[in-house]
Structure 1
Amino acid sequence: MSNYAITHDGKTWQLRDDPDGEIADLLNWIIDEKCENGGAGPLLALSRQQIVTRLGKGMPADFPEHDVVTGDPEQGGVRGWWETTVQNYLAGVRTATAAPADEVDDEPAGHHAPGRADAWPLRSRQWDDVEYSGADDRVLIVTTFGIVNPAGAVVKPPLGEPGNLLKLAVKYPWASGEGEADPQIWITGQALRELDFPVPAAGSPAKLEDIVGDFFGCEVTYQKSGFFTCAFPTPDPTNWPDRKVDVVLMPYTHSEPSKSRPDDRGVLGIVGTPTILPADEAEAAHLLGDRIAWLYGLEGALPGPRWSRVGGKIARVRMGKARPTIKNDPGAKLVPCPLPSRLSKSGNLPYAWWTKDSWNRKHRANGPGVDVEVDQQAAYLPSAEGVYLGWGTPEFVTPDPAWFDQQRPPFLVAQITVPPANKCDGISPKLPVPHPGMSWTKEATFPATTIDIQQLLAPVENGGAGLTVAEIDFHVAYVWPEQHQWLKQFAILLRTKLAEARAANRLDYQQMCQALYKSVFGRCAAVGDSAWSYPYLQLQQPAWFGAIEGLTRWRAMRYACRIARDFNLYPTECMVDAWFYRVPEEFDPHSLEDPLDAKSGLRKNGSYRLKALPPAAETPDGPLDAEADDS
């Protein structure tokens, strides 16, 4: 006889004896006729750690009892909860904590703008495809229909008048925790117009932050790209403390755009792509709530005016879970490490990609053919996931070439001199030099990371220069005492989320994943005023940036060498890790793609694929952004 367990509203029952099999037949009919196959597979339960992340705080005393236990309960078994149990609890919390409408709108009705007839009913839920999460205790969206949390629950009526924002900010039961970002209140353009928000005239000397402070009765302590950190004084000091809240005016997210991502509006989408929020206010609020909830699922992150701030928070949490092995310096700590002037006057490494000077004889595309472009899928994620990165306090030491006989040489940046490429055996004159620091005709001196040196020592057919250690002149080496895969967990998280986004055909999630890892990796190179600030100082690592780009570039050269060897095809141009080829008309361009993974049937990140999608539908990796993306 088959075993049956029935789950309902988070509870589970085991089927009693069924000697005649009648109940089993009925259940089999229900499975065949009334159930979807999507639930096939083992039952999934949430761990305590997952629930704490979902709630954004510790488990409250009134949280439901666990549904399952794995292991021996008498020996400290691991508790688990069904998803429905968590969702039912969160839904009940939202309903119980929703304050009466007059808690915000307690002024005389004559002082208010007239309410709209189609306003959302208080405590209703306007969309149910966004799960309740800790984001609902930290973010509200103000619309002309009402005030909702990301899960779509209507917690307040429309704002009504500017002064009610102060009451909302101070009195709302926000969740708070040590090290948590300030709560956020997002206000749509339609809601601002209904409040008669004063739009500053072109050329007006008035500052937007002053207008916001005067209009909403708060002190603006920071502003960038529509984000205003507002300090609200409490109207009732006896019962309510002062409150600091990030107020986001959605129409002003276009102001002060990132120089490296001028069309990026954060969770509002990218201008010129299908991901920009729709014009319809209700639809825009729904999609905004969905994206905020998705982002909060990444270690409790909330949106910010720059992706580096958001990504830095996620990276810091993931790095905090690392347990590096200490081998050389018991007192080693992760500290910011701009490069000393002895290695670099700027404090970081030179541009890491090929230029027109990297070519000896660029291949010319004569005759008929088809022009194609190939590049790596999510190029930087596998590099960051696999590379060992230095930590501790680095020191200048006398270089030892024997280091590179080891399986894992020390993490370092060395000043080296290498012979000209035309004196190296096997390097094709139709490809750029293996490393951009090299020259075709003369010796070249440049700073190189451990990864760069390993590439120079690799065989030419493997993307290297085929040098021996004796052919590299080491002048000085700046060596870190320890090394660890510091960015591995951050990269794994975003690799997983990126794969899920592709499977779900969510271009917006894909773009957000790319923005997160590119901004974090790129800003590691920033130094001086543009460098990471507290609490992200540990990410000020130009050598990490160089190692990630070096591994990505090495993979690109390895690919170009393979295509030349297998198909006698040479690129006509390159742009970062992208190669441009003209192939014969009868040639199948898909032959240029790296093979799919044998197990999953999917393309691995870092493998080469045809750029088949139009620019509006895909965000290529491009070079990592070393420019400051935050302040």
Structure 2
Amino acid sequence: MASTRKGQRMGGGEQFALFDVERPAEPETNARVEAASVLQPEASAEAVDIVEAVPPSDTSPSEPQLEAPSTPEPGPSGWESLPAGEDADGHAIVITAAASYTPSGRVLTGSVDSIDKLDQLVRWAALTPLGSPAQVWLVGVDACAQLGWIIDPGSEDDVDDLEALRVRAADELRQVISATLPPLIAQGWELRGDPGHVVHLSRAIGKATQMVDLVLEPYVWTYWNKDFGWGNRVGDMGILGSPTAGTYLPDDDLPAARELGRRLAWCAKHLGVLPGPTPARTGAAVVDKIRRERTRTGKGILVTTAGPVPPLDGPPRGDLEPAAGWARVPDAEDLDHACRLVTLDQRAAYLASAGMLSFGYGRPRRVVGDAAVEEASRTKPAFGLWRVTLPAAGQYSLPEKLPLPHPVMQFDAPVRTWVTTVSLEGLCAPVADGGMGVDVDDLEVTEAWIYPEQGRALDKWAAILRAARGVAVETDDVAMKRFVGACYKGYIGRMVNPEMWTATRMQHHHQPLWRAAIIAHCRWRGRRVAMRIARETGRWPIRTMTDSWVYLLGEADDVADDSPALGKMVVEKHAWLSDDLLAVFAAAQDTHEVKLAIDAAYGACGEEDA
């Protein structure tokens, strides 16, 4: 599994004679170098706060001034046409075995076939950060091999355990890269963390620190991360796309470099940052860029601390707010005049909720007894967690063809648990709106953790990703639409993991209660829509999973929402049902057989049930 593409060498045309001249001087400190920040020994590239360049006055007079190299005229385009503007130029470089390029396609040099030439190129280019450290991408096995960075871990066809293959490959890659780094270290570069598919380099220039990430495209698969969907398969690999979805880079190196350059420019233009090593890190980079702007201007909500789960009495097992997962056996009424199977999905559900919700931050305050009941009874309760008793659902007149209002609720017994403010309000909402119609007194609130400060902390972040997603949809850019989706899903999903955000400058991304509130908000919104559909069509769902709902429908039943707004229910999948398939649904005896029937229906038309 040496690469997900063919590592073929391609021609490059004219280029600068950079490697034929004397080593260039260092770049200008005031224009090209990231501001100094003290790097902690354990800090990785993602853990370092990216700040703006140091102005001339910040350079000590006693330190030597760095002279800019003489810059040749721009080279010719290496692509057939400039693909997506120049937004990533000056922040990233793309290298193939034959040449190096700006992301917009300008040829910079010929073959970068030694560590010394790589050092010269990086110094001469004087790249600046853009949300993430500056990046140098090596595209194709040959480009890596010219630097001695080549491994042969074996083929996935010869092993049963792809994870063992990945671990072996990652270790081999670390060793071969480490063996080639002494020349770079001798030139003043420092290695941050172990080298792998990304080599994090930094060097001190006066009081400033320049950081550059070398990214080895052929070996991205050696990095395990849930964002990459590893599980005996190669899933989505961030900005590079997904081999299984057909959005990975082209096989040949020059078209692959061109497409990567386009994606880097797209990301810089529409997200305002370079892509991180994973989609989750890209989402975090957008948050941090907004945070730096708010720090400078003093305007907007500024969250500077983590929001770990408070010390709860009787904490729930698993997620604070579990996602929905439910199915039922259809009855004769469901099958009457049914001829279609339709799955509705909330358009960018998590992104929609992230932009709508008011989140708590700061140090939470614990309240108990009557004080907790009083706080819960407010017209708009504060953001927080509430210890409640979910009453036995059988006591209430709830729709029989919907899941119970909360995933941990039981039909015949009360359940003591913790819920977010979103669920507290949802439970008290009218049944017609998807709620349970209870009063706060019915929930027996005994304790709460509430936050003194709250606001729409992710509204601007959501707006940026929403606009980027809109551009991808309008231009039918499947790769970038998938990437934006992976960014917000990955970032929200990783809010719960403190080990993802251990560095001091990253701890504010650990917000498990925000994630719980987003999940709950999507779940309640789906229930509200299901109630509306039932009123308008008489149709009820037969399955729900996270933010999708599956229906058996007649030909005239119209259940989707045509609005382009995020969070609206749209048709995700559709299948016409033959008499044989209808018979399978009619014969189902339990929910497992219902799920098999759904799979069979979508399988017959080439779809897969999520």
Q: TM-score, normalised by structure 2?
A: 0.72
Shift of 1:325: 8.3
Question: 1:250/1:291 Cα in 2 relative to 1: closer, same or farther (>3 Å)?
Answer: same
Q: Tell me the residue number matched to 2:409.
A: 438
Tell me the number of residue pairs that the alignment of Structure 1 and Structure 2 aligns. 488
Match 2:141 to one of 189, 206, 217? 189
Q: Which has more helix, going by share of residues?
A: 2
Q: Tell me the residue number matched to 1:417.
A: 389
Shift of 1:402: 4.2
Q: Tell me the residue number matched to 2:556.
A: 588
Higher mean alpha-carbon deviation, 394-403 vs 135-144, is at: 394-403
Q: 1:418-455 deviations in whole A, cap 9, x for unaligned? A: 21111123x11111011213211111111111111000
Match 1:258 to one of 193, 205, 225? 225
Query: What is the root-mean-square deviation in Å for CA atoms of aligned residues?
Result: 3.7
CA contact (8 A) 2:132 2:273 kept: no
Higher mean alpha-carbon deviation, 511-520 vs 561-570, is at: 561-570
For residues 281-296 of structure 1, the aligned pairs below 5 Å read 281-296=253-268
Q: How far apart, CA to CA, are the structure 1 residues paired with 2:278 and 2:194?
A: 12
Q: Tell me the residue number matched to 2:128.
A: 175
Indicate the SS of the match to 1:341.
coil
Of the two, which has the highest radius of gyration? 1
Question: 1:386/1:621 Cα in 2 relative to 1: closer, same or farther (>3 Å)?
Answer: farther
Question: Aligned AA for 1:341?
Answer: P
Shift of 1:258: 2.0
* 1:136 maps to 2:104: no
Indicate the SS of the match to 2:93.
strand
Shift of 1:490: 0.3
Match 1:606 to one of 555, 562, 567? 567
Question: 1:206/1:264 Cα in 2 relative to 1: closer, same or farther (>3 Å)?
Answer: closer
Q: 1:166-225 deviations in whole A, cap 9, x for unaligned? A: 222334322369x86244343432323455643244468963122113235446533577
Higher mean alpha-carbon deviation, 184-193 vs 286-295, is at: 184-193
* 1:493 maps to 2:467: no
Indicate the SS of the match to 1:606.
coil
User: Where in structure 1 are there 5+ consecutive unaligned residues?
Assistant: 1-55, 62-93, 100-120, 327-331, 598-602, 623-631
Shift of 1:355: 3.6
Q: How far apart, CA to CA, are the structure 1 residues paired with 2:496 and 2:608?
A: 20
Q: How far apart, CA to CA, are the structure 1 residues paired with 2:324 and 2:266?
A: 37
Question: 1:461/1:394 Cα in 2 relative to 1: closer, same or farther (>3 Å)?
Answer: same
Shift of 1:581: 1.4
Q: How far apart, CA to CA, are the structure 2 residues paired with 1:214 and 1:129?
A: 37
Question: 1:542/1:464 Cα in 2 relative to 1: closer, same or farther (>3 Å)?
Answer: same
Question: 1:412/1:455 Cα in 2 relative to 1: closer, same or farther (>3 Å)?
Answer: same
User: Where in structure 2 are there 5+ consecutive unaligned residues?
Assistant: 1-50, 57-67, 155-167, 186-190, 230-234, 576-601
Q: Tell me the residue number matched to 2:485.
A: 514
Match 1:126 to one of 56, 63, 79? 79
Identical columns (%): 25
Q: 1:489-538 deviations in whole A, cap 9, x for unaligned? A: 000111111111111111111111111111121111223x3456432211
Q: Tell me the residue number matched to 2:444.
A: 473
Q: Tell me the residue number matched to 2:597.
A: none
Q: Tell me the residue number matched to 1:160.
A: 113
Question: Aligned AA for 2:442?
Answer: E
CA contact (8 A) 1:224 1:256 kept: no
Q: Tell me the residue number matched to 2:179.
A: 214
Q: 1:366-407 deviations in whole A, cap 9, x for unaligned? A: 576322211111111221111110012101013443445544
Question: Aligned AA for 1:199?
Answer: I
Q: How far apart, CA to CA, are the structure 2 residues paired with 1:588 and 1:225?
A: 56
CA contact (8 A) 1:190 1:281 kept: no
Indicate the SS of the match to 1:253.
helix
Question: Aligned AA for 1:97?
Answer: T
For residues 228-307 of structure 1, the aligned pairs below 5 Å read 228-230=199-201, 244-262=211-229, 263-298=235-270, 300-307=272-279
Shift of 1:566: 1.8
Question: Aligned AA for 1:588?
Answer: A
Q: 1:126-160 deviations in whole A, cap 9, x for unaligned? A: 35434554521121111133110101111111113
Question: Aligned AA for 2:141?
Answer: G
Shift of 1:350: 3.0
Match 1:199 to one of 121, 126, 151? 151
Question: 1:573/1:146 Cα in 2 relative to 1: closer, same or farther (>3 Å)?
Answer: same
CA contact (8 A) 2:428 2:438 kept: yes
Higher mean alpha-carbon deviation, 214-223 vs 151-160, is at: 214-223
CA contact (8 A) 1:363 1:430 kept: no
CA contact (8 A) 1:373 1:581 kept: yes
Q: How far apart, CA to CA, are the structure 2 residues paired with 1:204 and 1:226?
A: 10
Higher mean alpha-carbon deviation, 484-493 vs 129-138, is at: 129-138
Match 1:503 to one of 474, 487, 497? 474
Q: How far apart, CA to CA, are the structure 2 residues paired with 1:489 and 1:376?
A: 21
Q: How far apart, CA to CA, are the structure 2 residues paired with 1:580 and 1:613?
A: 10
Q: TM-score, normalised by structure 1?
A: 0.69
Indicate the SS of the match to 1:275.
coil
For residues 455-470 of structure 1, the aligned pairs below 5 Å read 455-470=426-441
* 1:551 maps to 2:521: yes
* 1:448 maps to 2:419: yes
Q: 1:602-631 deviations in whole A, cap 9, x for unaligned? A: x21111111148999x99998xxxxxxxxx
Question: 1:96/1:274 Cα in 2 relative to 1: closer, same or farther (>3 Å)?
Answer: farther
Q: How far apart, CA to CA, are the structure 2 residues paired with 1:317 and 1:444?
A: 42
Higher relative contact order (CA 8 A, sep 6+): 2
Shift of 1:316: 2.0
Shift of 1:257: 3.2
Q: Tell me the residue number matched to 2:98.
A: 145
Question: Aligned AA for 1:391?
Answer: Y
Q: How far apart, CA to CA, are the structure 1 residues paired with 2:421 and 2:491?
A: 21
Higher mean alpha-carbon deviation, 543-552 vs 297-306, is at: 297-306
Match 1:541 to one of 494, 501, 511? 511
* 1:97 maps to 2:71: yes
